[in-house]
Amino acid sequence: MQEIEGKMRSAIIKYSMIMPNDNIGVGLSGGKDSMVLLIALAHLRNYLDIPFKLTAITVDPQFNGIKGDYSQCEELCNKLNVPYIIKRTHLAEIIFDQRKEGNPCSLCARMRRGILHNICNEQSCNRIALGHHFDDAVQTFFMNLFEGGHIGCFSPVTYLSKKQLWLIRPMIFVEERDIKGAVRRNNISTVKSNCPVDGDTARNHYKNLILQLEKQHPKLRKKIMGAMQRSHLDGF
């Protein structure tokens, strides 16, 4: 975890992600990215030299109308001494049953973020941290280019003026393989997604495309990240 925490510390300092006495809500889906994010932030409280608080928040879509089992998230939060909130919702019913979305991921993500933002406001959190990492950023760049026809990415730090909330992504320098390695070495328990389209998404398509391209163009992902930083694309 030390290498991951070091890269997160670099991102936090470079982009001024955390200020003294911040109250940070952490989106905790139970997947590997969000679990590692929470653990690393909890550790960073001890040596970042910036006092801040954490609150972990899970939004349960209740796939197939069944409450998700997030006991592993609750156990982790208790171990880390982080307050934990679960919000049960009808997201799955709205997206799959009522609207019958053919491409549900984008709408689900927007609605889930909206719920997270509201809970942050209710809990007096002034920042929300999401588990997007290095590879997510590169994939988003490709998706915007090939699907939307424009050059862009999500930002390391975004101010949500309507909610008076800062959205931060502390893991943007952390590669997915490092996260997988940390989960394996530290025996971190994760929550399996019950989403019916899990693994069959546009993002997964571009993930595989980038892997294929990198066989012909070594270090392609790092070159793209470097280009985004040098051009200060969307706050990078």
Is 221:210 a contact under the CB 8 Å cutoff?
Answer: yes
CB atoms within 10 A of CB 14: 13
CA distance 135 to 153: 12
CA distance 154 to 140: 7
- The correct CATH number of 2-235 out of 3.30.930.10, 3.40.50.620, 3.40.50.12780, 2.40.110.10 is 3.40.50.620
**Exposed/middle/buried for 111, CB within 10 Å: 0-12, 13-18, 19+?**
middle
Could you tell me the sign of the dihedral formed by the alpha carbons of 129, 28, 38, 203, in that order? negative
**Of the candidates 137, 236, 167, which has an alpha carbon nearest to the alpha carbon of residue 17?**
167
Give the pLDDT confidence score for residue 106 in this predicted structure: 79
Calculate Rg over the CA atoms of the chain.
Answer: 17
CA distance 52 to 170: 14
Question: What are the domain boundaries of the chain?
Answer: 2-235
Is 22:53 a contact under the CB 8 Å cutoff?
Answer: yes
CB atoms within 10 A of CB 148: 9
CA distance 201 to 105: 8
CA distance 166 to 159: 5
Q: What single letter denotes the amino acid at residue 132?
A: H
**Of the candidates 159, 156, 154, which has an alpha carbon nearest to the alpha carbon of residue 141?**
154
Give the pLDDT confidence score for residue 199 in this predicted structure: 66
Q: Which residue has the tokens 């880390």?
A: 80
Give the pLDDT confidence score for residue 137 in this predicted structure: 97
Is 136:228 a contact under the CB 8 Å cutoff?
Answer: no
CA distance 125 to 23: 5
pLDDT digits (tens), the chain, 236 positions: 899 999 999 999 999 999 999 999 999 999 999 999 999 999 999 999 999 999 999 999 988 888 999 999 999 999 999 999 999 998 888 888 787 666 777 788 888 999 999 999 999 999 999 999 999 999 999 999 999 999 999 999 999 999 999 999 999 999 999 999 999 999 999 998 888 777 667 888 999 999 999 999 999 999 999 999 999 999 99
Whole-model pTM: value is 0.94
